[in-house]
Amino acid sequence: MRLVLYYLIVLGSSVVISTYGPHQLAQMTGDILLGGLFPIHFGVASKDQDLAARPESTQCVRFNFRGFRWLQAMIFAIDEINNSSTLLPNITLGYRIFDTCNTVSKALEATLSFVAQNKIDSLNLDEFCNCTDHIPATIAVVGAAGSAVSTAVANLLGLFYIPQISYASSSRLLSNKKQYKSFMRTIPTDEYQATAMADIIEYFEWNWVIAVASDDDYGRPGIEKFEKEMEERDICIHLNELISQYFEDHEIQALADRIENSTAKVIVVFASGPDIEPLIKEMVRRNITDRIWLASEAWASSSLIAKPEYLDVVAGTIGVALKAGHIAGFREFLQKVQPKRDSHNEFVREFWEETFNCYLEDSPRQRESENGSTSFRPLCTGEEDITSVETPYLDYTHLRISYNAYVAVYSIAQALQDILTCTPGHGLFANNSCADIKKMEAWQVLKQLRHLNYTNSMGEKMHFDENADMAANYTIINWHRSAEHGSVVFEEVGYYNMHIKRGAKLFIDKTKILWNGYSSEVPFSNCSEDCEPGTRKGIIDSMPTCCFECTECSDGEYSNHKDASVCTKCPNNSWSNGNHTFCFLKEIEFLSWTEPFGIALAICAVLGVVLTAFVMGVFVRFCNTPIVKATNRELSYVLLFSLICCFSSSLVFIGEPQDWTCRLRQPAFGISFVLCISCILVKTNRVLLVFEAKIPTSLHRKWWGLNLQFLLVFLCTFVQVMICVVWLYNAPPSSYRNHDIDEIIFITCNEGSVMALGFLIGYTCLLAAICFFFAFKSRKLPENFTEAKFITFSMLIFFIVWISFIPAYFSTYGKFVSAVEVIAILASSFGLLACIFFNKHKPDVH
């Protein structure tokens, strides 16, 4: 056990002496120490380690001016808190801030420094060594930037419950509190960002896009969520690619080939600036300027990409950026930076040299230049005017990540303030106890942060939700080219509010957007051209659903907007126009009183009624003449009345069919004709019996008396009446609108039962056949008695008409069905009238 303790003493001593971690840092001592992880460089130099000698630490390359500004925001916040009389009075915050170089290895190297120091403090080794000047434990860490880096750091810090508050890591995987116990952030999760980007694509009606994601814990989960959102919206991703700043040139070129050959014009990128920069460079080299970029917040305002030399390719980019915040006094703080004044911040020297393209005295980079490993630069004094140069470091117009870092520091300070002002019995720990600010441990600060709730200097309510995320909104920006000096201007064109109802979350002012840097017309990025109104999208085999062919709507269907998925069927009373863009009301047709055909039929029916009435008038006027008496006067009256009913029944077939007219017309026609034919039948049979008996005996006269004749007529008619009653009771006819014909609605009568109609006409024809039989049998009567012959002719006409009626009835439709039946009624009625009454002359019968 003592050997272990001695080993730890040696380890602790080495930590104190060498301040274990990357050699370059910004640090200041204090009562309470905060750690910081910032990407001061974009990456590390690529170097193969063949392990022939002791491996050397990789060198960070390409200075990140924005990353340095984020670091300055943390230092500024700590200075403000230390100078505050209300927040943490009599307590000084210190910091140790390292450069992650945007890589996991450098970040873990720095994180080990925080963890090792905390473990030394927890062992209480004062009795073994003089530790009065040792560095205090780090009670919280602000950082890191990239999600992949934060994921690795969170795994390590989580083992020791050291709170970590990231200002820029938005991967939704980091919301898993079971895996990342101590991770928190002041940036919204990509869960919302992916939805916002999908909503933007839907807003501009694009359905054919390219998706590019960084091959890390930021890009992969982000694009995965984005894919799900796109599936819900039926939007297709043509290419789905991964990218990294460490890709070989041939890999970047192959990716650029696929993008160049794609018909999709919108490229959605879930990656950081360093990861996407190689692709942008290749696109610039090829001069591919007809693409629209949709940027995630990681590079939506990246100074690495927003360069004038890239603008021909990236101008018009739509970015989903974090909502900007305001930090009072930060502008002046940034302008005061100077190598001699900020000796505690070792990054300032490199910042100065990169800004003024010079070397400070005794700079290690100057020695490298003398050795020929870097290009020559002049010396600088360190007192140059920082405001005289253009640098992303001073771009404080939209503080997004800087503000998040500022908020992260204040959140930790507020948690410490809650511990400092805690009243025993009202604390968050066992038995409602409070933590001791002088002896507190990192896990106690983590507990306090989880219950944090305060109002910041901008009046915003700040707290972490159940996933340790802070709620925030996005700003939609558009990359414009500055008319003055050709640089990139981030124009705010809208916002995305994740806290309001779906459909109202996104707002974009299209009038502010410049596509490709100059155009106001929304670019086209669809697999197929829009389908015009009157057509629908048709599926193309073996192609995504976003690729379709435009198929014209069928007759009776329409589409009144572009890109209709289906054509809408017109209502029953409507039909589509020639272009199938709308429906118009169908023309309603029936055998009308006002149309020429209806008028002609009505005139014929009225003429028949008038003629029949005229004949009846003649019969009444000359009722006592021999010719009238010879025709069986009383029965002739009934016959003439039935003919009037026959002609009149045809009028019921004209006009718009109503339920009552439909139920009246067939029975009226059927009963009228049966009454008529019954009279003719009785009359013919009586004549035949009289002439066959030779001498009209009293028995014949008695048997064929007037009462019996009327009884026979009544019985024959009664059968037809019963057929009609049964028909109307069981299947009454009704008015029916026939929509089967294009553009026309025929109002007709649904007869209810075709069988009943068949019985009605069949019974009538049966009586007519019997009548024809008796009339034919009477053909040998005296030549001067020709009535039987004309009755035979009338029955032949009747049969011809009604036999022709059957196929005509079933082969016509609409109003012509009624017209056919009216013609049949009128033809047979006129035939009966003419054959029976218009041939009368005085017979030689006494």
Q: What letters, b where the CB count within 10 A reaches 16 and e where it falls short, cover 315-347?
A: bbbbbbbbbbbebeebeebbeebebeebeebbb
**668/724 Cα distance (integer angstroms):** 9
Compute the average pLDDT of residues 836-844.
58
Q: How many residues does the chain have?
A: 846
Question: 709, 798 in Cβ contact below 8 A?
Answer: no
pLDDT of residue 627: 63
SS (H, E, C) 622-686: CCCCHHHHHCCHHHHHHHHHHHHHHHHHHHCCCCCCCHHHHHHHHHHHHHHHHHHHHHHHHHHHH
pLDDT (0 to 100) of residue 706: 64
Least confident piece of the model among 123-127, 619-623, 838-842 = 123-127
Q: Does residue 375 have a pLDDT over 90? A: no
pLDDT on residue 88:
94
What is the SS3 assignment for 503-529?
CCCEEECHHHCCECCCECCCCCCCCCC
User: Do 635 and 616 contact (CB within 8 A), yes or no?
Assistant: no
Q: Which residue has the higher pLDDT, 480 or 618?
A: 480
Is 196 or 587 the better-scoring residue by pLDDT? 196
Residue 120 CA to residue 314 CA, distance in Å, equals 50
What average pLDDT score do residues 784-792 get?
63
| Helices and strands per DSSP (H, E), number in the chain | 23, 27
C-alpha span between 336 and 528 (Å, rounded):
56
The backbone torsions φ and ψ at residue 43, rounded to the nearest 5 degrees and listed phi first, read -175, -170
pLDDT at position 53 over 50: yes
Q: Bigger pLDDT: 118 or 826?
A: 826
In this predicted structure, what is the pLDDT of residue 632?
A: 63
832's tokens? 């009966």
- In 3D space, the residue among 426, 467, 417, 468 whose CA is nearest the CA of residue 445 turns out to be 417
d(CA 249, CA 282): 9
Token digits of residue 540? 């193309």
Would you say residue 116 has pLDDT above 50? yes
Which residues in 419-443 are b (16+ Cβ under 10 Å) and which e? Answer: bbebeeeebbeeeeebbebeebbbb
Both structure tokens of 368: 């490298």
What is the percent of the chain where pLDDT is above 70? 86
* Euclidean distance between CA atoms 806 and 820, whole angstroms: 10
Q: What is the pLDDT of residue 779?
A: 61
Q: Answer with the residue of higher pLDDT: 458 or 518.
A: 518
Q: What's the pLDDT score for residue 846?
A: 39
What pLDDT is attached to residue 471?
75
Q: How confident is the model at residue 529 (pLDDT cuts 50, 70, 90)?
A: confident
pLDDT at residue 699, rounded to an integer? 52
Q: Are strands 568-569 and 583-585 parallel, antiparallel or unpaired?
A: unpaired
What values do phi and psi take at 120, rounded to 5? -60, -45
pLDDT tens readout for residues 232-258: 998 999 999 999 988 999 999 999 999
DSSP assigned state of 389: S
Residue 763 has which token pair? 């019974």
Phi, psi of 449 (to 5 degrees): -65, -35
Contact 449, 462 (CB under 8 A): no
Share the mean pLDDT of the chain.
83
The residue among 817, 821, 814, 820 whose CA lies nearest residue 587 is 814
SS3 of residue 26 by DSSP: strand
**Which is more confidently placed, 22 or 548?**
548
* Cβ atoms within 10 Å of 14's Cβ, excluding its own: 12
At 25 the three-state DSSP class reads: strand
pLDDT above 50: residue 836 = yes
Of the candidate ranges 360-374, 712-726, 729-743, 788-802, the one whose mean pLDDT is the lowest: 360-374
Amino acid 792: pLDDT: 73
Q: What is the DSSP string of 722-745?
A: HHHHHHHHHS--EEEEE--STTEE
Rounded CA gap, 661 and 672, in Å?
16
Three-class secondary structure of residue 612 per DSSP: helix
CA 83 to the chain's CA centroid: 54
CA angle, 229 then 231 then 236, to 5°? 110
Residues 452 and 411: their CA atoms lie apart, in Å, by 8
Instruction: Label the pairing between strands 93-99 and 32-38.
Output: parallel
Q: What is the pLDDT of residues 670-680, one digit of tens each?
A: 888 888 888 87
State the amino acid at position 441 in one-letter form: E
